Amino acid sequence: MHSENSSESADEPPSQPSLNSLKEFHSAGRGFWADVPDSDWEDWHWQLKHRITTVEQLQRLMPTLTPEEFAGATLANHKLALAITPYFFNLIDPTDENCPIRWQVIPRVEETHTAAWEMSDPCGEDSHSPVPGLVHRYPDRVLFLVTDRCASYCRYCTRSRLVSNASGYDFHPQFDKQIEYIRNTPTIRDVLLSGGDPLLFSDEKLDHLLSKLRAIPHVEFLRIGTRIPIFLPQRITEKFCAMLKKYHPLFISIHSNHPRELTTEVRDALGRLADAGIPLGNQSVLLRNVNDDPTVMKAQMQKLLMCRVKPYYLYQCDLIAGSSHLRSSVRTGLEIMEQLRGHTTGYGVPQYVIDAPGGGGKVPINPDYVLSRENGRVVIRNYEGKIFEYPEAEDGTPLVDAPNEIEEPELV
C-alpha cells in the first residue's frame, strides 16, 4: 500500500493511510506538464497524443524505475502495450515502489511468468463469439466489442490478448455483422458496449453506433463499460453528455480500483454523466498491493457514492496469463466483504464475483451468513457475528407450530 511516511525504517511496517485521508478529494495536478496551457491539458486529444508509451519516456519522467519495472516496460510492447495518459501518470508516487497506481499501469517483468492455470482468454469469450467482436454468453444480452484501444493499459486486463494488439490478435470488429446478429436475435434485450474503450470513439462515431442499436425494437437497454472517466476525465465533455442523453435507458459502468483514482477531476466528470441522467456503476478488480485491504476498499466504496456511483462488482482477478503478482486470494476478498456488509451503507457494498474460468460466467461469492436450515428454523448470523433464527419449515412451507427456542444469541 501507499505509505505517506517515507522516513520509516525498513524494519517497521509502513503506516497505513486512514479512512478519512483516503477519502479526501485531490486534483491530479500538472506535475511535469506545468507549462502546458490549460486549453491543451483539458483537451482529451492532447492527453492521448502525449501519452507515455516508451521505456525511455518512463525512465526520463520516473528515474526511480525499479529493475523489475524497467525490464517489464522494455518487454511490454510484445505483450500488452505501455500507455499512460499524462493526467493519470501524475497520480503515481515515484518515491513509493508500492504505490497502488503504479502497480496498475507500469509493466513489471513478472508479467512474463505464466502460471500453469493462467490463460490468454480466461472468460472463454472467443468460444462464445458468433460474429467477430460479439460475445453471446448469456441468453438475453451480448457484449459488443468496439475497439482494441484504451487510454491507458491495465496490467491485469482480462482482454490483454486483444487490447493494444501487442501480441498480434488482429482484432477487427464488423459493426454491420454485429448489429445484424442482434437485429436477428430477438432474445437480446441488453447490449453492453466494451472493448478496449468505447469512449475513445469520437462523439459522432459513438452517436452513429448507439443510434443503430437503439433502432432495434427488442433492445431495451444499452450499457457502456469504460475506464475513460478514470484515465481521461477530460473526455467527458458537456457536448458528449448531451449526445448520450438521447439513448436512455443507457447505463455506464466505470472501472476504478483505488480511492486515489477518484480525484476532483474524476468527480466532476462523473457528475456531468450523472447530470445527464446516466446511472453509474463501478467495477473494481481485487488486486494485491493495490486494494486488498479493508480500509482501502471501504474508502473506495464510500468515495464512489460521493461521486454518485453505485459500487457494482468486485471481481476476483481473472486467471489472465502473467497476472499472478497482482492476484489476491478469495479468502482476502471474503474478509473484505465481511468488513463492508453491515459496516457501511448497503448501496456501498458491491457483489463480489469470480468470473468462472473457461466461460462459466459470473458467480457471486459471499461470506456464509446462513449457518443452518433445520428444525423449523433458518439460523443466521449478522455482521457482528450474533446469531438469530428465522422460523421456516425445511421445505419452505409456513410453520404451523412455533419451533423450540434456541439458546441465547451468541457470537460466532
Annotated catalytic residue within 141, 223, 227, 327: 141
Q: Does 150 bind ligand SF4 (CB under 6 A)?
A: yes
Return the bridge partners of 313, or none.
283, 351
Assess whether 268 carries a catalytic annotation: no
State in angstroms the smallest separation of the CB of 411 from ligand SF4: 40
Could you write out the three-class secondary structure of the chain? CCCCCCCCCCCCCCCCCCHHHHCCCCCCCCHHHCCCCHHHHCCHHHHHHCCECCHHHHHHHCCCCCHHHHHHHHHHHHCCCCCECHHHHCCCCCCCCCCCCHHHHCCCHHHHCCCCCCECCCCCCHHHCCCCCEEEEECCEEEEECCCCCCCCCCCCCCCCCHHHCCCCCCCCCHHHHHHHHHCCCCCCEEEEECCCHHHCCHHHHHHHHHHHHCCCCCCEEEEEECHHHHCHHHCCHHHHHHHHHHCCEEEEEECCCHHHCCHHHHHHHHHHHHCCCCEEEEEEEECCCCCCHHHHHHHHHHHHHCCCEEEEEEECCCECCCHHHECCHHHHHHHHHHHECCECHHHCCEEEEEECCCCEEEECCCCCEEEEECCEEEEECCCCEEEEEECCCCCCCCCCCCCCCCCCCEC
Shortest CB 146 distance to ligand SF4, Å: 11
The residue annotated as part of the active site, out of 99, 123, 157, 317, is: 157
User: Given candidates 58, 73, 157, 232, which one binds ligand SF4 under the rule CB under 6 A?
Assistant: 157
Q: Which of 99, 150, 241, 307 is catalytic?
A: 150
Of 298, 318, 352, 377, which residue is the catalytic one? Answer: 318
Instruction: For residue 341, indicate whether it is catalytic.
Output: no
Determine whether 298 is an active site residue.
no
Q: Is 320 near ligand SF4 (CB under 6 A)?
A: no
In the complex with ligand SF4, the residue whose CB is nearer, 17 or 233, is 233
Answer yes or no: 138 catalytic. yes
Q: In the range 192-231, which residues lie near ligand SF4 by CB under 6 A?
A: 195-197, 227
Applying CB under 6 A, the span of 28-36, 150-158, 238-246, 318-326 interacting with ligand SF4 comes to: 150-158
Residue 145 vs 297, nearer CB to ligand SF4: 145
Q: Which C-beta is closer to ligand SF4: that of 255 or that of 298? A: 255
Site for ligand SF4 in 37-96 (CB under 6 A): none
Q: Which three cell numbers stand for residue 129?
A: 463469439
Q: Is 100 in the site for ligand SF4 (CB under 6 A)?
A: no
Q: Which of residues 125-144 bind ligand SF4 (CB under 6 A)?
A: none
Name 59's Cβ contacts closer than 8 Å, sequence gap at least 6: 65, 70
171 binds ligand SF4 (CB under 6 A): no
| Residue whose CB is less far from ligand SF4, 258 or 381 | 258
Kindly state whether residue 154 participates in binding ligand SF4, applying the rule CB under 6 A: yes
Options 136-144, 190-198, 343-351, 365-373: segment touching ligand SF4 (CB under 6 A): 190-198
To the query of whether residue 190 is one of the catalytic residues in this protein, the response is no
Give the x-and-dash track for 345-374 against ligand SF4 (CB under 6 A): ------------------------------
Active site amino acids: 137-138, 141, 150, 154, 157, 159, 318, 355, 362
Interface positions with ligand SF4 (CB under 6 A): 150, 153-154, 157, 159, 163, 195-197, 227, 255
